[in-house]
Chain A
């Protein structure tokens, strides 16, 4: 196979992986929102923040590979914010900060919706 054939084949395979990822992404964003919503409810706050941090880190790395760089960038900003809370004191996270995080995750969902609508 020629180099061009390989590139075309890769492009076709990436399109399939992207479609699969985008199908799973709304559920992942809903899960992020749920984690953020329950951060202050019980004593497992650090565990939830750890989970949130790990998931935002993944989200910072993947969408950009699938030509959604803005989503990666915004996820990276949120990842850094959660990381700072983890390194400082999670208990210092006020209701106001929590609401801001929830709003920013909702903005991620909106960003995804807009990006997908442009492709239709």
Chain B
């Protein structure tokens, strides 16, 4: 689905059908011959209800990783705003009031612009059965909380590269 979307976009001379925001991303994803190359991770959507964790992760990913971050405090907010932000990857807290992480994922997947975006769960629930369940939903990986703020960027970069190689 992601490849189809990208080819459609690049065939339109690099203009995103709706927002025009994908031009830079597309340039990273395709070389001049039009062959797929490893894409660059730049835009991260983080869905997390806790303000302390939000603040730490945002700082860590912006300052150390140099990523462009958007933080949503609930699944509902993410469903409203994610497509406009056009994330390269989505980080999802599992346990949130209202829509939890898996429910948020299902809602995001219903949006065509988001149905191919890879995602990672972040949770304190990291028993092996739970991790297996989250991966069965399609998660690239599961990041345990508490995380090390100094290592978080590299951790996500590693997950991204494993996914793209």
Are B56 and A7 in contact, with the CB atoms below 8 A?
A: no
Tell me whether A69 is interfacial, beta carbon within 8 Å: yes
Knowing A54-B97, A63-B146, A69-B146, the reply to whether A21 touches B64 (Cβ < 8 A) is no
A3–B66 alpha-carbon span in the complex (Å): 10
CB distance from A19 to the nearest CB of B (A): 12
Tell me whether A60 is interfacial, beta carbon within 8 Å: yes
Looking at chain B, what size class is its interface with the partner chain? 10 to 19
Are A61 and B53 in contact, with the CB atoms below 8 A?
A: yes
Tell me whether A100 is interfacial, beta carbon within 8 Å: no
CB distance from A108 to the nearest CB of B (A): 15
Are A57 and B64 in contact, with the CB atoms below 8 A?
A: no
Cβ contacts under 8 Å, A7 to chain B: 63-64, 150
Closest to A14 in B: B149
CB distance from A50 to the nearest CB of B (A): 10
Tell me whether A76 is interfacial, beta carbon within 8 Å: yes
Are A17 and B150 in contact, with the CB atoms below 8 A?
A: no
Tell me whether B33 is interfacial, beta carbon within 8 Å: no
Task: Produce 1/0 per residue, A56-90, CB < 8 A to B.
Answer: 01101111111001001000100100000000000
Cβ contacts under 8 Å, B55 to chain A: 17
Are A6 and B63 in contact, with the CB atoms below 8 A?
A: yes
Are B146 and A6 in contact, with the CB atoms below 8 A?
A: no
Tell me whether A116 is interfacial, beta carbon within 8 Å: no
Task: Produce 1/0 per residue, B132-147, CB < 8 A to A.
Answer: 0000000000000111
Cβ contacts under 8 Å, A60 to chain B: 124, 145
CB distance from A99 to the nearest CB of B (A): 26
CB distance from B98 to the nearest CB of A (A): 12
> Which residue of A9, A64, A65 is within 8 Å of B63 (Cβ)?
A9
Are B64 and A62 in contact, with the CB atoms below 8 A?
A: no
Cβ contacts under 8 Å, A119 to chain B: none
Are A61 and B150 in contact, with the CB atoms below 8 A?
A: no
Hey, which bits of chain B sit against chain A, CB under 8 A? Answer: 50, 52-53, 55-56, 59-60, 63-64, 66, 95, 97, 124, 145-150
Hey, which bits of chain A sit against chain B, CB under 8 A? Answer: 3, 6-7, 9-11, 13-14, 17, 21, 54, 57-58, 60-66, 69, 72, 76, 79
